[in-house]
Amino acid sequence: MPPSMRALVAGEVGEPGDVLRLESRPVPTPEAGQALIRVRATPIHASDLHVLRGRYGFSPEFPVVGGHMECVGRVEALGPDTEGPAVGERVVVAAVPAVPGPPVAGTWQEYLVADTRRLLAVPDGLSDSSACQLAVNPLTALLLVTRELDVQPGEWLLQTAAGSTVGRLVIQLSRHLGIRTINVVRRRDAVEEIKALGGDEVICTEDEDLVRRVAEIAGPAGVRKAVDCVAGPVGAQVSQALAPGGEVVVYGALSTHRQTDPAALTIPLAARSVIYETKAVRGFWLNRWFGTAAPEEALRALSQVRDLVAEGVLSIPQGRPFPLDRFAEAVAVAEAPARGTKPLFVLDGD
Ligand SMILES: NC(=O)c1ccc[n+]([C@@H]2O[C@H](COP(=O)([O-])OP(=O)(O)OC[C@H]3O[C@@H](n4cnc5c(N)ncnc54)[C@H](OP(=O)(O)O)[C@@H]3O)[C@@H](O)[C@H]2O)c1
């Protein structure tokens, strides 16, 4: 094993492209209960960039190695007296129940140590590109549809940013469960792709009125259930499109990510509609869910996701590979409009 490795480190809170540097660091040594993982692939999620900007739901101490959500790698060594997957086994490192704190410390590096309770075996045949995205987005899609909103077969589900990874997984899962989706995208170019994926209806905010189109599709009362990861004016329109007594679960705020004006960080709700039509707008955060769900429920949901992926019901979009040293380009691509597939750092792939 080499004594040193490369790690992508942010020295301080700031714009990822400005604060990230490639550094040489010693390869860490696993302690009891830990495994040393040689990272093969790790995504650049919006939330990873949000952490570096100091605007996520938790703040690590800086300097910090980037990448806080998930990765796939091989077990290189186990700590003393540690039971765990065999050396050489391919595993996902991700948030799992019963391990407090931020999901994963620093996946944007060649080696990391992780609590063995955070390791999940990778289903056979799953590419590194999909495996490194196995936990966060598929689990979020599953929980939003089946637990948070308990959407029933035949019901409408309205969702924003339908072309996102979560959005695509929501469409696939909904088809599997017989749920009908109304999918909001911001570009006309994306409409056909979403329909081809199985989205029942698509609304394009580039040239269509979200509230009016929802009423045309679901009936004048609106929809009873929605998920939103855009927030801002689009999130507000989703709440307007809800039927009386309807519910929207907000799980992201993509429209606010590069904004600094406090007015741009809100969802401007119509008070009358929320009060007199008793609509609910509430949040969902996977980290908090892990902190509050019973461990057996969390394990059940994780294994359900693994099964759905292994059976091909959920297909995780392949990412676009970048070597670590092209990090500036990779983080710029991550937030570029119409960028297509998600950028991943591939360090030791197939
Ligand atoms: N709360 C949780 O626990 C949780 C868990 C997982 C994910 N999330 C959140 O879910 C969201 C989606 O994540 P992901 O990894 O699935 O995304 P992704 O694969 O990186 O895709 C991003 C998508 O968002 C669209 N988009 C970006 N900015 C937008 C805006 N201002 N208005 C409308 N659409 C916009 C892009 O559309 P174009 O193609 O037009 O560029 C693209 O389709 C993120 O906010 C993420 O943080 C939250």
| CA 69/CA 240 separation, integer angstroms | 33
State residue 100's pLDDT score. 58
Q: Which residue has the tokens 């507000």?
A: 236
Task: Tell which atom from ligand 1 comes closest to the C-alpha of 338.
Answer: 41
Q: What are the residue boundaries of the structural domains of the chain, listed by start? A: 4-134+316-346, 136-287
Query: Domain spanning 4-134+316-346: which CATH class is it, in words?
Result: alpha beta
pLDDT the model gives residue 183: 98
pLDDT per residue as tens, the chain (350 positions): 568 999 999 999 999 999 999 999 999 999 999 999 999 999 999 999 999 999 898 889 999 999 988 999 999 999 999 998 999 999 999 866 556 555 567 999 999 999 998 898 898 889 999 999 999 999 999 999 999 999 999 999 999 999 999 999 999 999 999 999 999 999 999 999 999 999 999 999 999 999 999 999 999 999 999 999 999 999 999 999 999 999 999 999 999 887 778 877 899 999 999 999 999 999 999 989 988 888 888 888 988 999 999 999 999 999 999 999 999 999 999 999 999 999 999 997 54
pLDDT at position 298: 85
Compute, in angstroms, the gap from residue 252 CA to the centroid of ligand 1: 7
- Say what the pLDDT of residue 350 is: 45
Q: For residue 215, with 0-12 CB atoms within 10 Å meaning exposed, 13-18 middle and 19 or more buried, which class applies?
A: middle
Q: Which of 59, 66, 26, 62 is nearest to 328 (CA)?
A: 66
d(CA 222, CA 278): 13
Mutate which of 70, 166, 183 to test ligand 1's pocket (most atoms within 8 Å of Cβ)? 166
What is the CA(135)–ligand 1 centre distance, in A?
16
Checking DSSP bridges between strand 242-250 and strand 223-228, what pairing results, if any? Answer: parallel
Q: Find out whether the beta carbon of 250 lies less than 6 Å from any atom of ligand 1.
A: no
Specify the fold of 136-287.
Rossmann fold (3.40.50)
The residue whose CA has the least distance to atom 40 of ligand 1 is 338
Closest approach atom of ligand 1 to CA 167? 16
What sign does the CA torsion over 22, 23, 27, 29 have? negative
Residue 337 Cβ inside 6 Å of ligand 1? The answer reads yes
Q: What pLDDT is stored for residue 104 in this prediction?
A: 63
Q: The pTM is what?
A: 0.96
pLDDT at 99: 61
Domains 4-134+316-346 and 136-287 share a fold: no
Ligand 1 center–CA 133 separation, angstroms: 14
- pLDDT at site 256: 86
Q: What is the pLDDT of residue 103?
A: 57
